[in-house]
Amino acid sequence: MTLTAQARGTIAELKESVARLHSELTRNELVVWTSGNVSARVPGEDLMVIKPSGVSYDDLTPDTMVVTDLHGKLVHGELAPSSDTAAHAYVYRHLPEVGGVVHTHSTYATAWAARGEPIPCVLTMIADEFGGEIPVGPFALIGDDSIGRGIVETLRATRSPAVLMRNHGPFTVGATARDAVKAAVMVEDVARTVHIAHQLGTPVPLSGSDVDRLHARYQNVYGQR
Ligand SMILES: [Zn+2]
């Protein structure tokens, strides 16, 4: 495949940022061993940058990142792409607004996935970031498009950038890989807090209108402009 100089430059920048974002997964204790992965879409190309399969987090550098097409076929790189590449690729093919995808087995979010239970919208930060409950996606085996299809179908029915794939764990999306990493950190944080709240009683749900107002404000007004 021949790429323009501009595309090559974009890929070099994305390899660096995707490699660096993997250190957020370890820093926030979202992953053990080599599980978990971050990818980024290459804007303007049918390509993505993703973690190689089975490489220790300490050994991840920009040069070890791999580039695949949006069917998961290796385009550039020395190493085999992550075993979750097909799921990431399916998301990019079907959700054009998504520029980054993250998958982890972070403990508390995965505990909700193990029960097949959505995380209810009982905190302002859940309304802010997720716009409602964090949904559960179907059980799906690795090997074909089942995981990707389950992620896309579940996310299309919600405002949430996170889905808890049943008996598996969270997948998160964002406009950029950094946004998807943020959602992965936030889903684990709220999964833990709501789990703890459950220990002593029943968390109080937010009203739908409050959820809508919080979500709109956070998505449009919050932060530096
Ligand atoms: Zn997994």
Question: What residue ranges do the domains of the chain occupy?
Answer: 5-220
pLDDT of residue 225: 59
Distance 31 CA to ligand 1 centre (A): 10
pLDDT tens column, 20-57: 999 999 999 999 999 999 999 999 999 999 999 999 99
- 209 Cα: distance to centroid of ligand 1 (angstroms): 34
Provide the token pair at 66.
Answer: 């791999």
Q: How many CA atoms lie within 13 A of 17 on its CB side?
A: 20
- Let me know if 128 is a catalytic residue: yes
Sole residue written with tokens 């997720």: 130
* Residue 222: active-site member: yes
Which token pair is 26?
């370890």
Provide the β-strand partners of residue 164.
136, 170
Residue 42, phi then psi, degrees to nearest 5: -90, 110
Gap from CA of 35 to ligand 1 centroid (Å): 7
Determine the 3-state secondary structure of 67 from DSSP: strand
Average pLDDT estimate for 78-87: 96
pLDDT of residue 5: 93
39 phi/psi in degrees, rounded to 5: -135, 160
pLDDT digits (tens, 9 = 90+) for 152-162: 999 999 999 99
Q: Which of 128, 145, 179, 212 is catalytic?
A: 128
* Separation of alpha carbons 71 and 223, rounded Å: 36
Q: Which CATH class is domain 5-220?
A: alpha beta
pTM, two decimals, is: 0.96
pLDDT digits (tens, 9 = 90+) for 155-211: 999 999 999 999 999 999 999 999 999 999 999 999 999 999 999 999 999 999 999
63 pLDDT higher than 70: yes
Q: How far is the CA of 146 from the centre of ligand 1 (A)?
A: 13
List the catalytic residue out of 63, 144, 210, 222: 222
pLDDT (0 to 100) of residue 191: 98
Question: Does pLDDT of 224 surpass 80?
Answer: no
Q: How confident is the model at residue 93 (pLDDT cuts 50, 70, 90)?
A: very high
